[in-house]
Amino acid sequence: MSPHWKRPPLPEETFTDRFGEGEGELLTLAYPKPLPMRLDRWLVSQRTEQSRARIQKFIDAGYVRVNGKTGKAKTPLRQGDEVQLWMPPPEPLPYLKPEPMDLDVLFEDDHLIVLNKPAGLTVHPAPGNKDGTLVNGLLHHCPDLPGISGKLRPGIVHRLDKDTTGCIVIAKSQEALVRLQVQIQKRIASREYFAVVHGVPDGDSGTIVGAIGRHPADRKKYAVVSSENGRYACTHWTLVERLGDYSLLRFKLDTGRTHQIRVHCAHMNHPVVGDPTYSRCRKLPIELPGQALHAVQLGLDHPITRERMVFEAPLPPVMEKLLGVLRRRAASG
């Protein structure tokens, strides 16, 4: 990859106004395959050290050209096409305040850290919410994180919802971040969850396949929608225990969409107990801080040594209490 590059004087019709604006890096690639492929998909498959979302932003901003012309996401590439990707330097991180925080560390080395996240803890800051997040605690624990990843999510490989508990992995180096994100995308990493749901599903196991997108009537929620309006999502479930009018299910994800398990459970009419967004039932067996959903197991290949590693997070006390109450109720009839 070339060092800092400034746009040379070239004909106006060759570039968009924004291509090469200021300092950045220019990457020139040749499409080698005999069969056509969409520009966005091919760029994501290349080792550019850029995320899928960042590649899409580059295309939308006019930072990608094919044979001298501005490319679009759906531009079909043909063998021998020249693709140029201009990458402006990443925006500097806004100041994020490191905060002392008790972290339940399951594993840590120089490259990654695996935590057991508690309920009520947001993973990363957002506009209007820049304090008290897991990232703030991580910055106190790992001061080098500001140079990793992007903007308000330094080191974050994947997310857990605010009230979802359990295993989460954070990268401590750029190399580890890229390799772990690839494992998530290619399903090399495995993620399994426990959830207590309303009702008892038919059968002992099943698979839910349904595209997930914004809810058509409530943009703050997600829903199962048509494939044109959402992203493919696949969730496998197994019945672990019948608990009267409730069930304990174990889930394995093929994809990692926002609210995926919660949306798919609601879609099959077995919403997660305590879910304030997707469950209409407000009368609960015990008081809960949020949905009874726990990331129990995380499997991944170490990003540097390639060793297979499997981590397990014990159920939080409130979920153990919930199961105890439901078991006693079920036993008493």
Which residues participate in catalysis according to the annotation?
161
- Asked whether the beta carbons of 35 and 49 are under 8 A apart, the reply is no
3 phi/psi in degrees, rounded to 5: -70, -170
CA proximity to 151, closest of 124, 129, 169, 171: 124
Q: How far apart are CA 25 and CA 27, in angstroms?
A: 7
- Quick check: helix, strand or coil at residue 7? coil
Query: Which stretch of DSSP H or E encloses residue 136?
Result: helix 134-141
Q: Which residue has the tokens 């990843």?
A: 149
From residue 192, alpha-carbon distances to 148, 232, 287 in Å are 26, 18, 25
> In whole angstroms, what is the distance from residue 8 CA to residue 11 CA?
10
Are the beta carbons of 161 and 306 closer than 8 angstroms?
Answer: no
